[in-house]
Amino acid sequence: MSSSPNPQPEDNKLWSFLKSQRENIQSIAVALVLTFTIQTFAAQAFYIPSGSMEPTLLINDRLMVEKITYDFSAPERGQIIVFTPPKNHFNSNDQPFIKRVIGLPGDTVEVKAGKVLINGKPLDEKYIAEPPAYVMPPVKVPADQYFVMGDNRNNSFDSHIWGFLPRQNVIGRAIFRFWPLDRLGPLG
């Protein structure tokens, strides 16, 4: 004669609790899936770890970076972008960088007399910390690559040191600062 085991009172309590929390568990699961999807394909938060973009972005600023625009259009001069730096003898870091797009494919970029020149004409840069205190001979930006620089020209590990940024390394465009609250707002 066989008898089926009687459920223990603890088992019934756990089952009842799980049934009562079913909606909450489903909501959490949906939220996790949406968070993963949005962060992977649409937008992602980043923080600023260095002073290379001062005075525009300060250390510990928190930004929202959207990832969709560059699937349909190319980065434009003056936009602030987040990217994976190219691996070369200057850099083996996988941490994302944030810089401003200065040179577009086909442009000639030069730095002399405290000015950045694009195709021989000085770039109007109201956003920089101070003029560059270095000289860089003219370089032509190859197809599907960009020349990027930090706004803190004299304290930025950027294209003037390590070269051009391949288009495929671009993660997205910085569009909004959400921290600190007193500096909350869109990025131009």
Task: Give me the active site residues, please.
Answer: 52, 99
**Residue 154 token pair:** 């004299």
Q: From CA 153, how far away is CA 27, in angstroms rounded?
A: 47
What order of strands is seen across the sheet that includes strand 108-112? 121-122, 115-118, 108-112, 136-140
Task: Tell me the three-class secondary structure of the chain, residue by residue.
Answer: CCCCCCCCHHHHHHHHHHHHCHHHHHHHHHHHHHHHHHHHHCEEEEECCCCCCCCCCCCCCEEEEECCHHHHCCCCCCCEEEECCCCECCECCCCCEEEEEEECCCCEEEEECCEEEECCEECCCCCCCCCCCCCEEEEECCCCEEEEECCCHHHCCCHHHHCCEEHHHEEEEEEEEEECHHHCEECC
